[in-house]
Structure 1
Amino acid sequence: MIKLIECPRDAMQGRAEFIDTAIKAAYIDQLMRVGFDTIDFGSFVSPKAIPQMRDTAEVLSLLDMFKSRSKLLAIVANTRGAEDALQFEEIDYLGFPLSVSETFQQRNTNKSIAEALKTVEEIQNKCEVNGRTLVTYLSMGFGNPYGDPYSPDLVAEFVGKLSDLDIKVISFADTIGSATSDLISSLYSINASAYPEIEFGLHLHTHPDQLKDKVVSAYEAGCRRFDGALKGFGGCPMAKDELIGNVATENLIQILEEVGEKLELDKEQLTEAMKLANVVFS
């Protein structure tokens, strides 16, 4: 079964102008009516680092959870953020960005990779105690611009360490749009066969004209978890000065339907969500 993860948090987080809390909540509410498996709706991180997300708890209090089957995911960057997120029963998933690049790990979370792995273990333990699931994003999962070491074997080492911690969901994140179709296929094929107990996802930042080949490559290699953001808004503000856009969810839906997937989405609600996206991100 295909799992579509809609990421308004990723679409919003890099915008300089603060989006009103009520508008954020109304937009996420609309997304929850579409039928996405999960909504990556906010983050519990330092407001100095990501000021756009300083109202995540308030946004959550405004959501109408009774009209949706979508689950909620919040990004955290440290144990304290995880503890804050775990106070809210409405949140099903915590997401942590673990980087294959030492430079980016420092830029993104102010930690070394070794320190970040310890944090992953701490958060995983807290998730297990509280009945939640930790999603670990392997950022710079397809290469990095900093000259740090990278190889598919290195990624596999990270997956092995996460497997040892009993992490059940890992999403390969192409933070800067460097993935190729062949590399995507290779990473998924190798890791999915080696770790059948892990659900592997794909979080792309890519140019639209390269999207179809990359998504089909991941799909054919067994990937069934895909992240997107309506209209392709957003990108990672910590990666580079120039943002690489997110996958436009509407394009992702079209590609998956073309390969024969029947997605259980309310298309009327999706149309309304796309209209609202134009307003939110105008």
Structure 2
Amino acid sequence: MAVSPNSTQGESRRVHVREVGPRDGFQNEPETVPTAEKIRLIDALGRAGFKRIEVASFVRADVIPQLADGVEVLHGINVPEDVDRMVLVPNSKGLDNALRERAYFEEAAVFVSASQTHNKRNINRTVEETMADVRTMAPRILAEDLKLCAVVATSFGCPFEGKVQMERVLDLAEQFAEAGATEIGFGDTTGMCNPAYASRFFAAALERLPGVEVTAHFHNTRGQGLANAYAALEAGCTSFESSFGELGGCPVPAGSTGNIATEDLVSMFEEMGVDTGLDLGKVIEAAREAQATLGRKLTSHSIVAGPVIWAPSV
């Protein structure tokens, strides 16, 4: 891998990036992206080298109509065989529906908000009710030889309750691990994290969750997403989620803008000498295709600027 002249990294590092735009991104669009376009864009992401893509959600169609075509998308995509396809399951009913399509995905994600208020407004359940259902779902997921992933939303702050205690977040994460989750993601659902806290948090999470893949999921609502990702990396985190084109956000509450742009994250890592295993040019191309599909300018920097190209030394 070519390392830029600005890289100060003495030894090669490798990170894993899951693309979540097809689920987390498209669910927050005001209009529904046509199924054929979703399939085309996911296939483009598959060609960019992603090994993990979140492709669908088994939520009620009347709650998130933008994702009502999840089964059609799963059936229609044609990604390389080494790409793991993830689906999000909000509850046991959603899992029932997902398992009917077991042949079309390899990973299932369950989730809870660390904030009671956000959890109630998001899925109309208390945190305790959600975790009780997780303990019911987990053995069913594992029995299907699926990877069980878990997400703690509002890990870094809640728009309704304010500060969320780190101990509460890590306690929920430990409950997920006890249920059998081998990956746990921590979501900055409305972009309330800062780099100093990200550094402390991920150092603590990695210490508390030995043997678990700890994943950082940052939003760029207040412009600190990439700085938070860098802080998490320096704390030892090597697993990240992001969304091409900086698509996404949280529908609860309004105004919470998108995830960090995958192409911007990959560009930063590659310029630092951190290997992502991705073809940055193809990631940018997929983001530009998403921009054309949506018919509006997206907020990713790399869509405009493209990758950094280093001139030969004179």
TM-score normalised by length of structure 2: 0.85
Counterpart for residue 227 of structure 1: 241
Letter in 2 for 1:180: N
The Cα shift of 1:268 comes to: 4.5
CA contact (8 A) 2:148 2:180 kept: no
Counterpart for residue 191 of structure 1: 205
CA contact (8 A) 1:5 1:38 kept: yes
Pick aligned residue for 1:275 from 288, 294, 300: 288
Q: Deviations over 1:91-130 (max 9, x none)?
A: 1111122110011111111111111001111221111100
CA distance, structure 1, for counterparts of residue 247 and residue 254 of structure 2: 16
Pick aligned residue for 2:63 from 43, 46, 49: 49
Within 5 Å, which residues of 2 pair with 1:118-197? 118-147=132-161, 150-197=164-211
The Cα shift of 1:69 comes to: 2.4
CA distance, structure 2, for counterparts of residue 267 and residue 180 of structure 1: 26
Letter in 2 for 1:50: I
Letter in 2 for 1:79: S
Q: Deviations over 1:216-240 (max 9, x none)?
A: 1100111111111111012111x21
CA contact (8 A) 1:123 1:134 kept: no
Pick aligned residue for 2:105 from 86, 91, 104: 91
SS of equivalent to 2:180: coil
SS of equivalent to 1:4: strand
CA distance, structure 1, for counterparts of residue 127 and residue 42 of structure 2: 32
The Cα shift of 1:68 comes to: 4.8
**Structure of higher CA gyration radius:** 2
Counterpart for residue 263 of structure 1: 276
Counterpart for residue 70 of structure 1: 83
Q: Percent identity, please.
A: 28
CA distance, structure 1, for counterparts of residue 143 and residue 214 of structure 2: 23
Q: Structure 2: which 5+ residue stretches go unaligned?
A: 1-13, 296-314
CA distance, structure 1, for counterparts of residue 68 and residue 239 of structure 2: 28
CA contact (8 A) 2:219 2:225 kept: no
The Cα shift of 1:38 comes to: 0.9
Counterpart for residue 81 of structure 1: 94
CA distance, structure 1, for counterparts of residue 81 and residue 144 of structure 2: 22
SS of equivalent to 1:32: helix
CA distance, structure 1, for counterparts of residue 57 and residue 66 of structure 2: 10
Letter in 1 for 2:32: F
The Cα shift of 1:142 comes to: 0.3
SS of equivalent to 1:182: helix
Counterpart for residue 32 of structure 1: 46
Q: Structure 1: which 5+ residue stretches go unaligned?
A: none
CA distance, structure 2, for counterparts of residue 126 and residue 252 of structure 1: 34
Pick aligned residue for 1:111 from 125, 133, 138: 125
Distance 1:235 1:186, change over 3 A: same
Letter in 2 for 1:279: A
CA distance, structure 2, for counterparts of residue 11 and residue 153 of structure 1: 29
CA distance, structure 2, for counterparts of residue 60 and residue 13 of structure 1: 16
CA distance, structure 2, for counterparts of residue 2 and residue 149 of structure 1: 29
The Cα shift of 1:90 comes to: 2.2
Pick aligned residue for 1:9 from 13, 19, 23: 23
CA distance, structure 1, for counterparts of residue 72 and residue 44 of structure 2: 17
CA distance, structure 1, for counterparts of residue 67 and residue 43 of structure 2: 17
CA contact (8 A) 1:32 1:69 kept: no
SS of equivalent to 2:110: strand
CA distance, structure 2, for counterparts of residue 76 and residue 99 of structure 1: 14
The Cα shift of 1:10 comes to: 1.1
- The number of aligned residues is 280
Q: Which moved more, 1:168-177 or 1:262-271?
A: 262-271
Letter in 2 for 1:73: M
Q: Which moved more, 1:157-166 or 1:120-129?
A: 157-166
**Alignment RMSD (CA, Å):** 1.6
Distance 1:98 1:45, change over 3 A: same
CA distance, structure 1, for counterparts of residue 210 and residue 276 of structure 2: 24
Counterpart for residue 203 of structure 1: 217
Q: Which moved more, 1:270-279 or 1:216-225?
A: 270-279
Letter in 2 for 1:93: E
TM-score normalised by length of structure 1: 0.94
CA contact (8 A) 2:225 2:260 kept: yes
Letter in 1 for 2:77: L
Q: Deviations over 1:35-72 (max 9, x none)?
A: 1121111101001110000000011111114x352211
